[in-house]
Amino acid sequence: LNGRVIRQHWGIENQVHWTLDVTFNEDQCRIRSLNSPQNLALLRRMALNAINQETTLRRSVRQKKKRAAMNDDYMMQILKCLCQA
C-alpha cells in the first residue's frame, strides 16, 4: 500500500513537471539568483492550475496559453479561475 501511494505521488509530480517543461519551457529557464527560481516556479504552477480550471474552451494547455496571450477577455476568464479556487 505504501509503495503504491509513493508511486502515485511521483507519477502525478512527473506529469506536472513534464507539462510545465513542455508548455512553459521550465528546464530552459536561465533564472538562477536568490528566490527568483522558486518564485517563478510558483507563478508557473498557479498559471497551470488556472488554465486547467478554465473549462469553457476544450483545448490543450499550450493552446489555451496562446489564446490568453492574444485575447484579453480570455485571459481575464482564466484569471478569474484563480479567484474561485
pTM for this entry: 0.74
pLDDT in tens, 49-74: 999 999 999 999 999 999 999 999 99
Return the number of other C-beta atoms located less than 10 Å from residue 51's C-beta: 22
The total of other beta-carbon atoms located within 10 Å of residue 25's CB is: 10
Predicted local distance difference test score (pLDDT) of residue 78? 94
Assigned C-alpha cell, 33:
539568483
CA 81 to chain centre: 13
- Report DSSP state, residue 34: T
CA angle in degrees (0–180, nearest 5) for 37-14-27: 35
Residue span of the structural domain in which 80 resides: 2-84
Determine the pLDDT at residue 64: 95
Structural domain count of the chain: 1
What's the pLDDT score for residue 37?
A: 85
